[in-house]
Amino acid sequence: MGNPQALLFIFIVSAVFCGSQSYAMTCLAPPRPFVPSDPAQAREFADIIQKDFETYIADIQRYFLCLDEERARAFAEAQEVSQEYGRFLESVSKDR
């Protein structure tokens, strides 16, 4: 078969990537508001279009907040994984 240490490393890396993906937030950008190119249609649907813009502005603010939260979560996770990796390397080097 393969090198046991290499297989263990692959297992750990796979667990980290597969496990962390399920905890990551999904931040979806809101769709841009549609404005008809025909000025008559734009005037006809002005109330709806205005509401779409207001909804977009509120949604994009929530989207930015989601991105900020996900970045902070991912950064903290990366620090934890880095520390775990350091401890792993120390424990492996002691066994040699």
DSSP state of 96: -
Query: How does pLDDT run across 24-63, given as a tens digit for each residue?
Result: 779 999 999 999 999 999 999 999 999 999 999 999 999 9
Measured distance CA(57)–CA(81) in Å, rounded: 36
Spatial contact of 36 and 42, defined as CB atoms under 8 Å apart? yes
Structure tokens at 86: 């350091």
What integer pLDDT is reported at residue 57 of this predicted model?
98
- Sequence ranges of the domains in the chain: 4-94
* Average confidence (pLDDT) over 57-78: 97
What integer pLDDT is reported at residue 80 of this predicted model?
97
Measured distance CA(48)–CA(70) in Å, rounded: 32
